Amino acid sequence: MRSKKVVNLTKEIESKFWFRYLPETTYKTYLMMAHLKMKGLEGEEGTNKLLTTIFAIESETGKLKEEKERVINKLGIKYPTNRVEDLDILIKYNLIKETKNENDELVYEYNLPIPNPEEVLSLDEEEKTMLEKIRFEIKHQNAFNNILTLLINSNGNLLTSLEYIYDTTKIKLADIKEVLAYLVEEGSIKVKADKEVKNLRKADKVYVSINKEVFEQKRFVIS
């Protein structure tokens, strides 16, 4: 007898960066389906429970909500106000599907494996670029945190070498160069050196400074 593969829905959704395109209530509706199934509420009873559940909005308010609306509106999706609209979004995203059980009752099922957003959404080039940036920042989150902390603790100006950054942060040289180059392209910092960032070696001297105006917009406010 073959064992069923256990899928961690939360981990899968996060690893594929669906959180950018899922309103808070839509994400909660998605997880609610698994909760109802675990409680044995399926078929008409489960569907009715799903459609009548009211979720408290815990985090997606103010500017966060405005940004989520902007992102999904570009995809032709209206921000949801009830569970029917949440389910409609999940179906459009190909994350779930409508089907009938043996009693001819409407049920919702997960589409597995979970697709990547770019496989099912019509993303323009700007959004594809943004998604890649998000992936890069999460992949190098530790490097970003350590390098930016070092720079802030130096009052936004740092005359140093890559070797010193490595010794202080324990971040790999390749990752240091990638993150510095990313921040330069973003405009958050400026780097002065005898060569391009990607060609720097450990012993090379660099002067790194924060471009405060951009940094405060892209990162956080320096007090």
CB of 181 closer than 8 Å to CB of 193: no
Angle between helices 83-92 and 43-52 (to 10 degrees): 110
pLDDT in tens, 105-141: 888 999 999 999 999 999 999 999 999 999 999 999 9
Q: Can you give the pLDDT at residue 73?
A: 96
Structure confidence at residue 218 as a pLDDT band (50, 70, 90):
confident
Cα–Cα distance between 53 and 59 in angstroms, integer? 18
Does the model's pTM come out above 0.85? no
Cα–Cα distance between 8 and 19 in angstroms, integer? 15
- The arithmetic mean of pLDDT across residues 84-105, rounded, is 93
Q: Can you give the pLDDT at residue 7?
A: 67
Residue 115, preceding peptide bond in cis (omega within 30° of 0) = no
Cα–Cα distance between 75 and 213 in angstroms, integer? 31
The two three-digit tokens of residue 92, written as one number: 């459009």
Please report the domains of the chain, with CATH numbers, ordered by start residue: 9-120 (no CATH), 140-218 (1.10.10.10)
Lowest mean pLDDT among 4-8, 33-37, 203-207: 4-8
Cα–Cα distance between 99 and 200 in angstroms, integer? 57
Q: Can you give the pLDDT at residue 222?
A: 41
Strand partners, 110: 96
Structure confidence at residue 4 as a pLDDT band (50, 70, 90):
low
Question: How distant, in Å, are the alpha carbons of 60, 86, 110, 199 from that of 25?
Answer: 9, 7, 17, 46
Structure confidence at residue 223 as a pLDDT band (50, 70, 90):
very low
pLDDT in tens, 27-60: 999 999 999 988 888 888 889 999 999 999 999 9
Average pLDDT over the chain, rounded to an integer: 91
- Between CA 216 and CA 65, with CA 117 as vertex, the angle to 5 degrees is 45
Structure confidence at residue 204 as a pLDDT band (50, 70, 90):
very high
- Between CA 67 and CA 160, with CA 136 as vertex, the angle to 5 degrees is 115
- The arithmetic mean of pLDDT across residues 155-173, rounded, is 95
CB of 200 closer than 8 Å to CB of 193: yes
Cα–Cα distance between 54 and 66 in angstroms, integer? 21
Does residue 3 carry a pLDDT above 70?
Answer: no
Does residue 213 carry a pLDDT above 90?
Answer: no
